[in-house]
């Protein structure tokens, strides 16, 4: 089994996530280092998986290269 097959990334509801999926935030999140607060219900498109199954990368509004924890998102 390759490393890619072993890595299973799931959202807060246990739904499997893949590169390019769209997710919705389930909680208001403050972005460290900025004055931006991402509101609950914000749609995040084109996510990228990381080596850590608890983290995903994405671009939101004016924040590029944002890393989100999967416990705060659900698949859209």
Average pLDDT, the chain: 91
Alpha carbon distances (Å) from 60 to 37, 44, 66: 11, 6, 7
Q: Answer yes or no: are the C-beta atoms of 34 and 24 closer than 8 Å.
A: no
pLDDT tens sequence across 7-60: 899 999 999 999 999 999 999 999 999 899 999 999 999 999 999 999 999 999
Question: What's the pLDDT band for 62 if we cut at 50, 70, 90?
Answer: confident
To which CATH superfamily is domain 3-75 assigned?
Answer: SH3 Domains (2.30.30.40)
pLDDT of residue 40: 97
Domains of the chain, residue spans: 3-75
């Amino acid at each position: 089994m390759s490393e890619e097959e072993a890595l299973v990334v799931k959202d807060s509801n246990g739904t499997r996530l893949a590169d390019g999926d769209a997710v919705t935030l389930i909680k208001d999140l403050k972005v460290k280092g900025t004055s931006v607060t991402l509101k609950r219900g914000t749609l995040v498109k084109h996510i990228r998986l990381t080596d850590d199954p608890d983290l995903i990368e994405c671009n939101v509004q004016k924040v590029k290269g944002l890393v989100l924890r999967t416990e705060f998102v659900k698949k859209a």
